[in-house]
């Protein structure tokens, strides 16, 4: 049985909405874009929403609209998709990577605080926070709600307010996720979402910027449309802009998906529950944690495997793929990407938890229309592979000695284990990475 990593959930409704646009003759700059923006803003709980042609474009415009540029630094995470750091480089700003929380994989506010205290100084006259190592000004924090799990927004916003930093939330993987009952992406100055077909909802390609600030919204609308002013004529350009527009065809697809968003999110939650049922308690698998006051929106199903050299994870990746199961090693650390090591922005980083996570995480298929049979098949295949690999059996024997509830069934379904039980080797991984 083949099970893809992701699969868009398209019904007659999407086909009907898109077809109507195709028959209308107005394929771009039409009413469906405006309607999509209004309905998305209402769903997210933001005053303004600006539709663009990708999550990357949304991030780029966010950075530009906040005036972040050369001479600036932004505190962010290296455990993310490259776009969340690239958007800074496009504007000649530098990302400063601080380490993640080893359990949530999200930016750790204590690490932000530690970086500020050990590497930064506040200018007594201007109040600006400066990285004393580079002389660059720290302008913003860019948290990423990785795998749809909300960051600790209270702590991040407290630090931002204390040091007068702006906040751009990368919620590209987190549509529908809530922190203390509020949609992520709406805490900072700007939040961004993405609609590639692996996301909770899709427009084929697409993205959305949300903000409560009218000036920022107006500027983003101008920037996505070649710098045109709102009232100016078509060939008058108020500023340097881009063509980052989303078409009415894409917006119509987005409208249909938005109408079905609760159903789409429920399907993903059901898929995650099936994985949890099948995989919980296995000593070699750390399941994704749940965090108090947070509702995760399932982007992928991330599990963590032991062994700091990524050998077990990579073997499983190859073997699962060979059996027709889509999976990925999300995320390779951005600071270790070849282009990041080569260019002028290359810096020394000490990010042991990020590197440990990037060596041990494996993401499994996740989509709203996944059947119980598909998820049971993925789980069973994974458990069988773990049983048959000598390396993992050796690891299991070693781990069983370290684990309080040692004896386990061969199916790995000992539900006596708490799902929140810390991964037996996480601390060791960090120690390995640090040494």
Judged by the rule CB under 6 A, the positions of this chain that interact with ligand PLP are: 54-56, 80-81, 83-84, 144, 170, 172-173, 194, 196, 207
Nearest distance from C-beta of residue 390 to ligand PLP, angstroms: 35
Place of tokens 């040494």: 435
Query: Could you tell me the CA-to-CA distances from 181 to 44, 94, 120, 295, 356 in Å, in that order?
Result: 12, 33, 34, 8, 31
Nearest distance from C-beta of residue 12 to ligand PLP, angstroms: 26
Q: Specify the residue, 51 or 172, whose C-beta has the smaller distance to ligand PLP.
A: 172
Beta carbons of 7 and 225 less than 8 angstroms apart: no
Q: What is the helix (H) or strand (E) element at residue 4, kind and residue range?
A: none
Beta carbons of 172 and 55 less than 8 angstroms apart: yes
Q: Specify the residue, 206 or 395, whose C-beta has the smaller distance to ligand PLP.
A: 206
DSSP state of 166: E
Can you read off the two tokens belonging to residue 102? 């080893």
Question: Strands 94-97, 72-76: parallel, antiparallel or unpaired by DSSP?
Answer: parallel
Q: Is 286 a catalytic residue?
A: no
Contacts of 86 (CB under 8 A, 6+ apart): 56, 59
What is the biggest distance separating any 2 CA atoms in the chain, rounded to whole angstroms?
Answer: 74
Nearest distance from C-beta of residue 197 to ligand PLP, angstroms: 10
- Among all residues, whose Cβ is closest to ligand PLP? 55
Nearest distance from C-beta of residue 298 to ligand PLP, angstroms: 14
Beta carbons of 279 and 285 less than 8 angstroms apart: yes
Can you read off the two tokens belonging to residue 3? 């099970």
Catalytic member of 125, 162, 180, 199: 199
Nearest distance from C-beta of residue 189 to ligand PLP, angstroms: 17
Per DSSP, what are the bridge partners of residue 97? Answer: 76
Q: Specify the residue, 111 or 170, whose C-beta has the smaller distance to ligand PLP.
A: 170
Q: Specify the residue, 84 or 392, whose C-beta has the smaller distance to ligand PLP.
A: 84
Can you read off the two tokens belonging to residue 393? 């059996």
Q: Specify the residue, 4 or 422, whose C-beta has the smaller distance to ligand PLP.
A: 4
Distance, CA of 254 to CA of 191 (rounded, Å): 18
- Catalytic amino acids? 199
């Amino acid at each position: 049985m083949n099970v893809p990593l992701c699969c868009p959930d398209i019904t007659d409704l999407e086909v009907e909405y898109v077809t109507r646009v195709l028959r209308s003759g107005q394929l771009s700059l039409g009413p469906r874009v405006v309607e999509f923006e209004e309905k998305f803003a209402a769903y997210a709980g933001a005053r303004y929403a600006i539709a663009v042609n990708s999550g990357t474009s949304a991030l780029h415009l966010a950075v530009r609209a906040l005036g972040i540029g050369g001479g600036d630094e932004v505190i962010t995470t290296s455990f993310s998709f490259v776009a969340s750091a690239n958007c800074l480089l496009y504007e000649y700003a530098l990302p400063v990577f601080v380490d993640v929380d080893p359990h949530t994989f999200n930016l750790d506010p204590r690490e932000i605080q530690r970086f500020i205290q050990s590497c930064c100084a506040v200018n007594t006259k201007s109040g600006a926070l400066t990285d004393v190592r580079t002389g660059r000004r720290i302008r913003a924090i860019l948290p990423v709600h990785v795998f749809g799990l909300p960051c600790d927004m209270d702590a991040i916003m407290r630090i931002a307010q204390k040091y007068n930093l702006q906040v751009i939330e990368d919620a590209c993987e987190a549509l529908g996720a809530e922190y203390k009952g509020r949609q992520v992406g709406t805490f900072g100055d700007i939040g961004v979402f993405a609609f590639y077909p692996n996301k909770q909802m899709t427009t084929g390609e697409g993205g959305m910027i949300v903000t409560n600030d009218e000036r920022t919204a107006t500027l983003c609308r101008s920037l996505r449309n070649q710098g045109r002013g709102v009232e100016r004529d078509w060939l008058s350009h108020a500023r340097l802009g881009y063509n980052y527009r989303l078409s009415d065809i894409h917006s119509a697809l987005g409208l249909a998906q938005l109408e079905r968003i609760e159903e789409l999110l429920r399907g993903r939650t059901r898929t995650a529950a099936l994985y949890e049922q099948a995989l919980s308690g296995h000593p070699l698998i750390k399941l994704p944690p749940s965090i108090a006051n947070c509702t995760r929106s399932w982007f992928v199903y991330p599990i963590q495997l032991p062994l700091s050299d990524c050998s077990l994870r990579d073997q499983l990746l190859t073997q699962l793929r060979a059996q027709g199961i889509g999976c990925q090693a999300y995320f390779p650390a951005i600071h270790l990407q070849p282009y990041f090591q080569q260019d002028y922005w290359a810096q020394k980083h000490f990010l042991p938890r990020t590197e440990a996570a990037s060596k041990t995480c494996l993401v499994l298929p996740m989509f709203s229309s996944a059947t119980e049979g598909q998820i049971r098949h993925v789980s069973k295949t994974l458990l069988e592979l773990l049983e048959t690999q000598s390396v993992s059996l050796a690891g299991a024997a070693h781990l069983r000695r370290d684990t309080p509830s040692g004896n386990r069934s061969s199916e790995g379904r000992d539900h006596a284990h708490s799902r929140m039980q810390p991964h037996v080797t996480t601390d060791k991984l960090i120690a390995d990475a640090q040494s």
